[in-house]
Structure 1
Amino acid sequence: MLTFDDGPDPAWTPRIREVLDRHGVPGTFFVTGRQAARHPGLVRDLIRSGHEIGVHTFSHPDLATRSGDAVDREPAFTQLALAGAAGVHSSLVRMPYSSTAGALDGPSWSVARHLGEKGYVLAFVDQDTRDWSRPGARAIADAATPDPPGRGTVVLLHDSGGDRSQTVRALETPVPRLKADGYRFATVAELVGVERLTDGAGTAARWQGWVFVTAVTVSGTTVSVLGVLLLVVGGLVLARCGVMLVLARRHARRARRRPRADAVARTEAPGSLRQLWRQRYRWSYGTMQAAWKHRHALVERGHAGRFGRAGLPLLAVFRILTPLLAPLIDLLTVYGPVFGNAALTLPAWCGVLAVQGIVRRVRVPSRRGAAAAAVGAAGAADRVPAGDVPGAGAGLSHRAQRVPAALAAARAEGECGGAAGGRRTTLGGMTWRH
């Protein structure tokens, strides 16, 4: 009996099925729910060709290391995938990493007994070809030949999980030879003496399966698109970080050549999540409002046009689009371990955090250097003592930030009003005395 694990795969399952169909040999395919949901047409083709379908869990974990609820979810999700893909349920199961009966230890034996109590028929193998290691077509063919001759055997092969060209070539040798020697190929159902182990799913189960398969398909496409988009945005962020390093050095050199005004403002840091949310909302709304207000700079001539055509796209990408994409990274982190590759998802998440930390460390001094240069250009009359800033009382947390060059523009627009002790300017929700 020939059994195949880990499929279906669009590259190799059709080629293996073609070899079996050409020689009139049935095979038993233990599919993972994730692959079945991604390639439902391949499951239907296998069933139409008369091959047997078994369950190989949804995401191919080692069930012996999972909790009881996780053990139940793996075959349940796979049944949903089979119902949505081909309208069937299967009572046949093979546990990953426990292909032979001799591989069962205490924990895996408990899982096997639990699945048996659920009504599943567990299938093990007598001969493992180890075709996943790609030892060569000749070695795979020899490992698939019954030993000793004349004895029946259950053979393990794979139709997914990597390059299976050697497996396809290996089947061309033992199958016709064994048929010529009088061997008969069978399915698990024929071996255990039942009519079938794969039955049709009910109407409700088919609809649930269809919704499940559709959701997996849509989410897979969405994840691929978002992955490319996040990769592009990540590249832009790193490029921007490099440009900022260069510009920060230029600003620092210019600032050393001119008088500096230590105009400093202090703003109260949020003390609760509600205050943090309101502060971030104001900043985000203000950014979009400012970009829309100055949209005409995209088509203007002169310095304003050059600045607008460079600054507004950067503002849209790094201050509007990137923050909107940020929650998707968290969603992908939750989605990845369940439907994707957990070994890649978690390192990728840690990499995102590392890049954010590096960019933050670079951006803070760069902003201060650029702001200091802008303040120097505004003039030396803008020095604000810390005690003159409203809200700088004792017991509050504050952060210092340089005055932007827009302060000079505020004066030009007449936003400065008289006040006792000097002129007062209100800008960005903060009051400046000068």
Structure 2
Amino acid sequence: MSRHQRLRSAARSGRKAVPPLRFLLPSLVLAALMGMLMLRGLVTNEVFHDSRVAESVDKTTVPRHLLTGGPIVDSRDGKERSYRPADHTMALTFDDGPDPDWTPKVLDILAKHDAHATFFVTGSMATRYPELIRRMVAEGHEVGLHTFNHPDLALHSTTRLSWELAQTQLALAGAAGIHSSLFRPPYSSKASALDDLTWPVVKELGKRGYITAFIDTDTDDWKRPGVDAIVKAALPKHPGEGSVVLMHDSGGERSQTVAALDRLMPLLEAEKYRFTTVTESLGAPSAHTQVTGFPLWTGKVFIWFASASVVLMPILVALLAVVGGLVLARFALMLLLSALHVRRTRRAGFSWGPPVTEPVTVLVPAYNEQECIANTVRSLAESDHPIEVIVIDDGSSDDTADIVEALALPWVRVIRQANAGKAAALNTGLAHASHDLVVMMDGDTVFEPSTVRELVQPFGDPGVGAVAGNAKVGNRDTLIGAWQHIEYVMGFNLDRRMYDVLGCMPTIPGAVGAFRRSALVEAGGMSDDTLAEDTDVTMALHRAGWRVVYAERARAWTEAPQSMDQLWSQRYRWSYGTMQAMWKHRHALLERGRAGRFGRIGLPLVAVFMVVAPLLAPLIDVFLVYGLLFVDLGKTLLAWLAVLAVQAVCAGYAFRLDREKPWHLISLPMQQIVYRQLMYLVLLQSWITALTGGRLRWQKLRRTGEVEAAPVVAA
């Protein structure tokens, strides 16, 4: 039993044609990509960033003793207490870090003076620079929380507060294996500034086990007032008085802070001051607790993925630039070369050579096509070119063969064979063909009266071995049909004009193609090595030295899949089969003559425009969603509309060349949002199948016979 027989037998046994989890792997890949972008946005403060600052309000609910007490507020266990640092003790605190440029300089100065300090870090910065958190802890400094994204918590819900705390603790666990019970709210200052908006935040922090550290002295170093001004502001107002001093080791250019710190510490050491952490200045235990087990490894995984997301972003941006360049290059090539093709083939007096009038054999491989086979054969009866028709029934389990025989047309033969696959059916038809010119079509396709005649005229050139016809979507009145109609006219037919000019047509469509029988024999006939036998044989013809061209007037009307499930099945087979064919004919890259031309021009173009670019194209949509949600809605939407406009121009030009009514282009924006995503998933799963060594079954589509006759098209 052949491979196709086994696959089709399995399909008939009741197994679904497409596994229900077909979206799972590619969807997970895209979801992971979006997740990495969001994670990168979190750690770079793009996602959920909020720079609003609450205005001061009344202080009616704040206990009076806190407003006049020390800078350290403890509201744990429901009791509100405040504390001051011991005399001759200075708790240097640094906010907003760690920063790769300035934090190491601050740590170096502290080490030089054998001093400790407290760093109130944001989770986003700790995630990006975990090595600095580890150094702080290793050198005896204290780490406190300053939220993850630095929002004013007075303007946010307790849910946002919970998230900010949890994510920052996760970052500390992953960076240094610690949690901290010390917290400083963003945009806070002295305890005396507490009001009815900020006090509920402090109480909520107390309920969660946190001590809130405010300040005695603000150096305003973030304003860069000068080294002298920072030193002066940091000095205690009263000799010997303990204090908590605010400085910054991140958030901007901090050279003045570093210089002021190096000058300040010797001055205060001379006055017998000790530089300690916040908890040491109170004589309290350290705010750090060690993290072990699952929370520790969760933090490490978080840090690893966050670091990877930051590294990944420049790569993704570069790939986005590549795919953008490829898309624009493809559009430019299609427009330019399609115009050249039209100018060449539509000029007055153009011909391929002497008119071809000899009879033609039309091969119709059919497997369970009872709904549409009669329409196919009847359309051939209207042909204005002499033909014989051979319908090869490939082991159908329905009445396909009986229907054809009941038509009782003298020039139609039916050959029945056990199921062996489409390639085998076509080879059977070739063996019984009476003529040297052979046309191949699908059992769900109808021809116009002139299709066969137009299709064989290029054989007036003795170097032409095969001709691609113009496949049209017949059932285009549904939304899915309209999307495929746009794809056929814009993608397939513009591509074929381009490849014709370049002399490297990669595929003769199974719905409408013509071959010299001698060329097919030389190329080895139809092969079942791949699931895209039409692409396989076309590449083989190039390698055998034959020209493959495009006949735009040879129109065939095919029944496109009418559901997403059927469309997935068809495109999955096409994309996977194309990859198989490219791999099979990869040696054309090193061959000479026409084979080498196809190998060095055709194969790279197919790889770039049909595999690599579509595979990377989801980046456009991923960045679109990311930009709309988290960056700049207006600019992102404008960029997307610009890309859509370029596509609309190409589509409009393609419709004009094919003399199609443009009203179907109304659905182009929706096609880009929905249909294109499905094609991405199809190609992505094809890649996954290829890379994992999976095998894909032949997918038989359900037909309705909706395309009964070829529509009338203007000359």
Query: 1:183 aligns to what?
Result: 273
Match for 2:611 among 302, 317, 320?
320
| Contact 1:2 1:156 survives alignment (8 Å) | yes
* Larger proportion of helix: 1
Distance 2:195 2:326 in 1: 51
Look up the match of 2:646.
362
Task: Please say if 1:346 is aligned against 2:649.
Answer: no
Which amino acid in the other structure matches residue 286 of structure 1? W
Residue 114 of structure 1 deviates from its aligned partner by 0.6
1:231 aligns with 2:519: no
Describe how 1:261-276 pairs up with structure 2 within 5 A: 266-268=474-476, 269-270=478-479, 275-276=563-564
Correspondence 1:173-212 to 2 at 5 A: 173-212=263-302
- Taking a change above 3 Å as real, the CA distance of residues 101 and 328 of structure 1, as seen in their structure-2 partners, is farther
Structure 1: stretches of 5+ with no match in the other structure: 337-341, 376-382, 386-396, 400-428
Q: Name the Cα RMSD after superposition.
A: 4.1
The separation in 1 between residues aligned to 2:654 and 2:148, in whole angstroms, is: 53
* Range moving further from structure 2, 11-20 or 183-192: 183-192
Give 1:286's aligned residue. Answer: 574
Q: How much does 1:343 deviate?
A: 11
Change in Cα spacing, 1:150 to 1:193, as seen in structure 2 (3 Å) is closer
Could you say which residue in structure 2 is the equivalent of 1:33? 123
**What letter matches 2:191 in structure 1?**
A
- The change in CA–CA distance for 1:76 and 1:29 in structure 2 (over 3 A counts) is same
Measure the CA separation in 2 of the matches of 1:170 and 1:128.
13
The verdict on how the C-alpha distance between 1:99 and 1:364 changes in structure 2, with shifts beyond 3 A counting, is same
Query: For residues 98 and 259 of structure 1, what CA distance do their matches in structure 2 show?
Result: 84
Amino acid at match of 2:570: R
Residues 433 and 241 of structure 1, relative CA distance in 2, 3 Å threshold: closer
**Correspondence list, 1:5-404, <5 A:** 5-147=95-237, 150-241=240-331, 266-268=474-476, 269-270=478-479, 275-276=563-564, 278-279=566-567, 282-283=570-571, 285-287=573-575, 289-290=577-578, 292-293=580-581, 295=585, 298=589, 306=597, 309-310=600-601, 312-327=603-618, 345-347=630-632, 351=635, 353-370=637-654, 373=657
TM-superposed CA distance for 1:259, in Å, is 10
Q: 1:255 to 1:151 in 2, by over 3 A?
A: farther
**Secondary structure in structure 2 of the residue aligned to 1:196:** coil
Q: Match for 2:285: what amino acid?
A: E
* Equivalent-residue separation in structure 2 for 1:200 and 1:111 (angstroms): 26
TM-aligned CA deviation for residue 67 of structure 1: 2.4
Cα distance, 1:216–1:254 mapped onto 2, change above 3 Å: same
> Using the alignment, how far apart are the partners of 1:384 and 1:318 within structure 2?
25
Contact 2:323/2:617 (<8 A) preserved: no
1:384/1:123 CA distance change after superposition, 3 Å: closer
Change (3 A) 1:204 1:361: closer
Q: Which has the larger radius of gyration?
A: 2
For residue 274 of structure 2, give the secondary structure of its aligned residue in structure 1.
coil
> 1:78: how far off?
1.5
> Displacement of 1:350 after TM fit?
5.9
Distance between the aligned counterparts of 2:224 and 2:344, measured in 1?
63
Deviation at 1:65, TM superposition (A): 2.7
Q: Number of residues paired by the alignment?
A: 378
**Unaligned ranges ≥5, structure 2:** 1-90, 351-449, 451-469, 484-561, 669-706
Distance in 1 (alpha carbons) for counterparts of 2:667 and 2:324: 31
Output one character per residue of 1:282-323: Cα deviation in whole Å (capped at 9) or x when no partner: 346535534653655655656775566445444434443344
Q: Give distance in 2, aligned partners of 1:173 and 1:94.
A: 26
1:430 to 1:234, Cα distance in 2 relative to 1, 3 A: farther
What is the CA–CA distance in structure 1 between the aligned matches of 2:248 and 2:133, rounded to whole Å?
15
State the alpha-carbon separation in 1 of the partners of residues 567 and 330 from structure 2: 25
Matched residues in 2 for 1:430 and 1:99: separation? 79
Q: Secondary structure at the match of 1:185?
A: strand
Question: Is 1:244–1:363's contact at 8 Å kept on the other side of the alignment?
Answer: no
Q: Do the aligned partners of 2:323 and 2:616 also contact (CA within 8 Å) in 1?
A: no
Displacement after TM superposition at 1:43 (Å): 1.4
1:417 paired residue number: none
Q: Deviations over 1:259-290 (max 9, x none)?
A: 999x9765424459992464366346535534
Contact 2:244 2:278 in 1 (8 A): no
Q: TM-score, normalised by structure 1?
A: 0.71
* C-alpha distance after superposition, 1:407-430 (max 9, x if no partner): xxxxxxxxxxxxxxxxxxxxxx99
The letter for the 2-side match of 1:184 is: R
Structure 1 equivalent of residue 388 of structure 2? none
Q: Structure 1, residues 327-363: CA drift from partner, whole Å, max 9, x if none?
A: 55666788x7xxxxx999422x765553333223222
Contact 2:96 2:120 in 1 (8 A): yes
Over 3 Å counting, the alpha-carbon distance change for 1:29 and 1:239 in structure 2 is farther
Write the distance in 1 (CA, Å) between the matches of 2:173 and 2:660: 71
CA separation of 1:309/1:184 partners in 2, compared to 1, >3 Å: closer, same or farther?
same
State whether residues 36 and 82 of structure 1, in contact with CA within 8 Å, keep that contact through their aligned partners in structure 2.
Answer: yes
CA contact 1:4–1:159 (8 Å) conserved in 2: yes
Q: Flag the structure with more relative contact order, 1 or 2, with Cα contacts below 8 A and sequence separation at least 6.
A: 1
